[in-house]
Structure 1
Amino acid sequence: MNAVLAFAIVMAVWTVSDWVAKKTQSLLSSLFVASIIFFIGFLTDIFPDDLLASSSLLGLGGVVVGFIIVHLGTLISIDEFKRQWKTLVVGISTVVGIGVLLYIAGFIFGGGRRQGAYDGVSQAMDYVVAGIGSLSGGTISVLIIQEAALGVGLTSVAIFPVLIAALQGLIGFPLTSIILRQEAARLKGEYRAGRLEAPAAAAATKEAAPSKMPAFLSTTPGTLLVVGAVVLISILINNLTNGILNTFVVALIFGIALRAFGFFKPGILNGIDAYGLMMLSIMILVFGPLATVQPADVAALAVPLLIAFVFGIAGIALFAGIAGKLLGYTVPMSIAIGLTSLYGFPGTMILSQEAAKGAGETPEEVAAIEGAILPKMIIAGFSTVTITSVIVTGLIAARIGS
């Protein structure tokens, strides 16, 4: 497809989605609207399969996602990072909840695990394992499941996590948007009652320390050079540890640490010329899997998909809600943290920002609400999708075909 035409179509979709989100005060999030448009477009062949790739945004997004994660790290202070241990616990509880409820579903609808030789015919518990990995994780978890399933000749099980990955945003985005709107409305009341402080107001009470980064590196190319070097080091650490220390987790920690040491200013990419395009490109990563959906695959696996989503979301709500309540979080915030397992970054960032803008009536209110929600959602996405799910999936994938 012509690259300029593809780029224009993608921008048109995002313009419409952003307009709908603003008109509905984020009741319909821009991510959800764009997901629906792309899903229908790809499913009906109105959009060619190579639309996103031809726009060049898909490739750019894959390159700059690490840059944005370093940037997000610079928005979180060391003290804030320490305070988010509760979010990590809720995230871990979420993955456990998905696993427990899907195993229950496997015994109810599939009769549990049956003994016998495998001849390429899967059983219910294979879909359970695949569902746990894909519902709670991202690309790495899906690849782990696919490798295990194809290794024992179970093609349908290998397709299953791909379909979940492609469709889970369609469910996760609107649910999270609705729940975060409730939390944002509550936080607006807290702010007006004087019990919630805007980050900008808190920062104004202390002298802002100048960045230790040399002035000649404070330009757009200089900043991108330094942040790019941090991302490369993160990739190196990922490779040296065979993925145990994930690139994006390391990049987030580097961002937090470099801000704490004063080398990076808070919001390191704010104000550089390339930031807007970088943000648009990583949003496109969310829609990439939709181009792979085939109607026949969805029809063949419709029942397992429905069961996986119903029981998986029930597990998220139950376990995240209880864990969060015990730790002092509100139930809506706890469930929103749990739902990050369905999409991860950048959805965690975009939905938080939209909820804050939809509830806040002044820039100060928006900043206060976003400051209370965004750190939790960002760290939640890493605790579920990037860390816990990969560990859990790696442990249970071997059960496929056994």
Structure 2
Amino acid sequence: MEPIYAAAIILAFIALGELVSIWSKARVPGLLVAMLGAFVFAQLGLIPTDTVDQSLLTQVYVILVGPLLFHMGSLIPLRTMLQQWRSVVIALAGMLGAVLLLAATIIPLFSFEHFVAGAGPLAGGIVSTGLTTQGLTAAEVSTAIIVLPSLVLMMQSLPAMPLTNFLLRRYALSLRESGELTRLATEAQHVDTTTKKKLVTLPDSLAGNELFVLFLILVGGSVATLLAGPTNIPSSIIALLLGIASTAIGLTPERAMEKSSSFGIAMAGVVAIVIAPLLTASLADVLAALVPMVAILLIGGTGILLGGLIATKLLRWRPMLGMSVALTAMYGFPADYLLTNEVARSTGRTDEERQQLTDAMLPAMLVGGFTSVSAGSVVIASILVSFL
């Protein structure tokens, strides 16, 4: 098969998932549709099991995974993260609770490889799933374990999103009835507007040039790969840190990969890596992974809630908001944005009240989602895969 035909087939499943996600307002995860569709078509013999390899998207992933993680570090300004430090702490505590509880239960019940396969994807999103899948494949574990990260990623948002909706709704109603809404909305919305000169100021002609920005993030990914050897630190973690530092000093713009118009193809490579095991897996392999998947979702979700609740209590935050922030690890953006807006729209009685509810909840939810899905889960997956 010509690579362009294979790539078009894989992108067709991804596009279908995006359409369903938009139509359902993120209630049905796009990745669930894409992965399930590809698996069914492969089982029916309608597409070759090596479609991902023939599409050459795995090579795209190999080239762009470092730059993609560098880009992840540029998503939210460091100052915003510092202002929302409680959200960062709660999100990290939720992930830590999940990892510890999974280690204590999944390793004795199944194996260390099952624990690694579930912990990274559960505590984050597709990038950590791609790293985990790649590590498991390199370690030559059984196919039933290699498909586990994809299954966890497919299903993790289904229990988490309704629970978040319930928790956020209770929080919003308590704010509305207690009279605290105006004060909390003002505090959450407040941003330090003082301008601080950055160490590096790129001319607009360069900062807005797609090819030059792409060059910068490729250099960032290359440096991370170069430093990984002598430091023994996974290149994914180094790339993430370099992205945060480079954006903070002004060397690269925020949301760098989007500015270079290369984010879409990079994500297509990541999705292809995650879909690939499902194409080659048998129905027996998937069925064998179902019980570990359910255990990981239940136990890991409980760990996220417990870790988030403990951190919330220590920080003297409202438990309903704190646990919602912790749960963003199981779905991330844009679901965190859509859920918050849906709750604000349905519980606010006036336009002003709806805006105040959004201002009181949205910054914490967005920063929590970034901390877990974009940053924390990458660190967790990188560390755990190194022990395989």
TM-score normalised by structure 1 residue count:
0.72
Partner AA of 2:28 in structure 1: L
Cα–Cα, structure 1 residues 206 and 379, in superposed 2: closer, same or farther, change >3 Å?
A: same
Q: Which residue of 2 aligns with 1:132?
A: 115
Query: Following the alignment from structure 1 to structure 2, what is the Cα–Cα distance between the partners of residues 311 and 367?
Result: 36
SS at structure 2 position matched to 1:327: helix
Query: Following the alignment from structure 2 to structure 1, what is the Cα–Cα distance between the partners of residues 168 and 43?
Result: 35
2:372 equivalent to 1:372: no
Partner AA of 2:379 in structure 1: I
2:94 equivalent to 1:90: yes
Q: Which residue of 1 aligns with 2:303?
A: 319
Q: Which residue of 2 aligns with 1:27?
A: 27
In structure 2, runs of 5+ residues without a counterpart are: 121-128, 313-318, 346-350
Cα–Cα, structure 1 residues 11 and 128, in superposed 2: closer, same or farther, change >3 Å?
A: closer
Q: Give yes or no for contact 1:166–1:293 (8 Å, CA) kept in 2.
A: no
2:225 to 192, 210, 235: 235
Bigger shift: residues 49-58 or 127-136: 49-58
1:256 to 236, 240, 244: 244
Q: Give yes or no for contact 1:77–1:260 (8 Å, CA) kept in 2.
A: yes
Partner AA of 1:132 in structure 2: F
Cα–Cα, structure 1 residues 287 and 64, in superposed 2: closer, same or farther, change >3 Å?
A: same
* Cα deviation 1:8-49 (Å, max 9, x = unaligned): 323332232222112211110111111111121222222212
Q: Which residue of 1 aligns with 2:276?
A: 288
Partner AA of 2:247 in structure 1: R
Cα–Cα, structure 1 residues 67 and 313, in superposed 2: closer, same or farther, change >3 Å?
A: same
Query: Following the alignment from structure 1 to structure 2, what is the Cα–Cα distance between the partners of residues 198 and 71?
Result: 29
Q: Which residue of 2 aligns with 1:121?
A: none
2:54 equivalent to 1:62: no
Query: Following the alignment from structure 1 to structure 2, what is the Cα–Cα distance between the partners of residues 273 and 129?
Result: 39
CA shift for structure 1 position 64: 2.0
Cα–Cα, structure 1 residues 333 and 375, in superposed 2: closer, same or farther, change >3 Å?
A: closer
SS at structure 1 position matched to 2:250: coil
SS at structure 2 position matched to 1:91: helix
How many equivalent pairs are there? 352
Query: Following the alignment from structure 1 to structure 2, what is the Cα–Cα distance between the partners of residues 370 and 314?
Result: 26
Cα–Cα, structure 1 residues 178 and 247, in superposed 2: closer, same or farther, change >3 Å?
A: farther
In structure 1, runs of 5+ residues without a counterpart are: 107-126, 151-156, 340-346, 398-402
Q: Give yes or no for contact 2:130–2:271 (8 Å, CA) kept in 1.
A: no
Query: Following the alignment from structure 1 to structure 2, what is the Cα–Cα distance between the partners of residues 212 and 4?
Result: 40
Query: Following the alignment from structure 1 to structure 2, what is the Cα–Cα distance between the partners of residues 182 and 86?
Result: 19
Measured on the aligned residues, the alpha-carbon RMSD in Å equals 3.8
Query: Following the alignment from structure 1 to structure 2, what is the Cα–Cα distance between the partners of residues 320 and 81?
Result: 20
Cα–Cα, structure 1 residues 233 and 389, in superposed 2: closer, same or farther, change >3 Å?
A: closer
Q: Give yes or no for contact 2:14–2:34 (8 Å, CA) kept in 1.
A: yes
Q: Give yes or no for contact 1:95–1:389 (8 Å, CA) kept in 2.
A: no
Q: Which residue of 2 aligns with 1:342?
A: none
Q: Which residue of 1 aligns with 2:325?
A: 333
* Cα deviation 1:356-389 (Å, max 9, x = unaligned): 6766879x89899764334323432467654345
2:379 equivalent to 1:387: yes
Query: Following the alignment from structure 1 to structure 2, what is the Cα–Cα distance between the partners of residues 375 and 368?
Result: 13
Q: Which residue of 2 aligns with 1:169?
A: 153
1:217 to 184, 206, 219: 206
* Cα deviation 1:142-173 (Å, max 9, x = unaligned): 6777888x7xxxxxx63442132342223224
SS at structure 2 position matched to 1:45: coil
Q: Give yes or no for contact 1:7–1:55 (8 Å, CA) kept in 2.
A: yes
Cα–Cα, structure 1 residues 175 and 239, in superposed 2: closer, same or farther, change >3 Å?
A: farther
Query: Following the alignment from structure 2 to structure 1, what is the Cα–Cα distance between the partners of residues 65 and 161?
Result: 22
1:44-59 to 2 correspondence within 5 Å?
Answer: 44-59=44-59
Partner AA of 2:104 in structure 1: V
Cα–Cα, structure 1 residues 177 and 31, in superposed 2: closer, same or farther, change >3 Å?
A: farther
Bigger shift: residues 14-23 or 56-65: 56-65
Partner AA of 1:102 in structure 2: I
Query: Following the alignment from structure 2 to structure 1, what is the Cα–Cα distance between the partners of residues 103 and 267?
Result: 33
TM-score normalised by structure 2 residue count:
0.74
